[in-house]
Amino acid sequence: MPSTMKPPSEPRPIAVMSALNQEIAALRANVDRPSTVDIQGSRIHRGHIHGRPVVIANTGIGKVNAAVTTALLVERFEIEMVLFTGVAGGLDPDLDVGDIVIAERTVGHDTGVLERGRLQHYQAGHVPFFNPTDRFGYTTDPELLERVMETIEGFDLEPIGDRIDPPRIVVGTVLTGDQFVNDPIVRERLHSEFSGTAVEMEGAAMAQAAERFGVPHLVIRALSDLAGVESHIDFTRFFEEVSRNSGRLIRRILPVL
């Protein structure tokens, strides 16, 4: 008699996004059974990594691009969770180019109320006198973060540039804003005001969109520069190296997401 048991269904895919094509080129090169589809001007790459279905897309730079692409992928592909990766500027003076920050929290550092010539920071999508909230930022699911950190225990990254020691992997607060930070004064302020570990241009917007859809989110950023006066130079110099390390890390953690 033929079996009536249904084959196990494949898990829903993980969406992996970056702002720039080069940031996840190495990750796309490791996709099994790849296919592509163009949707609303975005080229979407589909396939499997370590047996896990993935949907990979470049969003373009900035918060709007990140939020739009997140919504598009979640709606079209029944995404289980979203992950944003790529490079960032380092804010914590204890970190160096090549170190990787896994966000336990993402914060929009350029949102709030302009008052007395200063920006009073507040949660994106809210103002305190109309729809107030006690929240500020978006927190990564603690169980997800714990699984990731257990999986990468003992995982070594490749040295970057002239650096002899392997880069570190740390957990911290990742800040998001629609500016490329190229200023040591701003770097110091962002670190002191927010306890920011790294700064980039997409993560918190992705997290905001993901929460609207009830989808877990994760942000992983490799430091291409230190958000100072030579950030634009360091970014160009180290961009591809740190992106490759970030891709290796993501391949490592995909099976536990």
**Dist CA 71 CA 189 (whole Å):** 32
* Residue of 48, 61, 65 whose CA lies nearest to 14: 48
Map tokens 């033929």 to a residue. Answer: 2
Write out the two tokens for 242.
Answer: 């740190």
Rg (CA), the chain: 19
pTM, 2 dp: 0.92
User: Is the pLDDT score of 144 beyond 60?
Assistant: yes
Per residue in 176-215, pLDDT (tens digit) is 999 999 999 999 999 999 999 999 999 999 999 999 999 9
Per residue in 88-129, pLDDT (tens digit) is 999 999 999 999 999 999 999 999 999 999 999 999 999 999
Q: Could you tell me which residues come within 8 angstroms of residue 4 by beta carbon, excluding any fewer than 6 positions away? A: none
Helix, strand, coil % in the chain, rounded to nearest 5 = 30, 30, 40
How would residue 238 be classed by pLDDT, with cut points 50, 70 and 90?
confident
Which amino acid is it at 220?
I
182 HSE (CA, 13 A, CB side): 10
| Residues assigned a catalytic role | 23, 225
Identify the pLDDT of residue 164. 80
* Residue of 47, 25, 53, 50 whose CA lies nearest to 35: 47
Mean pLDDT of the chain: 91
How would residue 6 be classed by pLDDT, with cut points 50, 70 and 90?
very low
Which amino acid is it at 237?
R
- What are the two backbone dihedrals, phi and then psi, of residue 158, each rounded to the nearest 5 degrees? -75, 140
- What are the two backbone dihedrals, phi and then psi, of residue 230, each rounded to the nearest 5 degrees? -105, 20
Write out the two tokens for 136.
Answer: 């500020």
**Dist CA 160 CA 97 (whole Å):** 8
* Residue of 95, 71, 119, 100 whose CA lies nearest to 226: 95
Beta carbons of 36 and 174 less than 8 angstroms apart:
no
The topology under which CATH files domain 14-256 is Rossmann fold (3.40.50)
What 8-state DSSP symbol labels residue 133? Answer: -
How would residue 8 be classed by pLDDT, with cut points 50, 70 and 90?
low
Q: Give me the residue spans of the domains in the chain.
A: 14-256
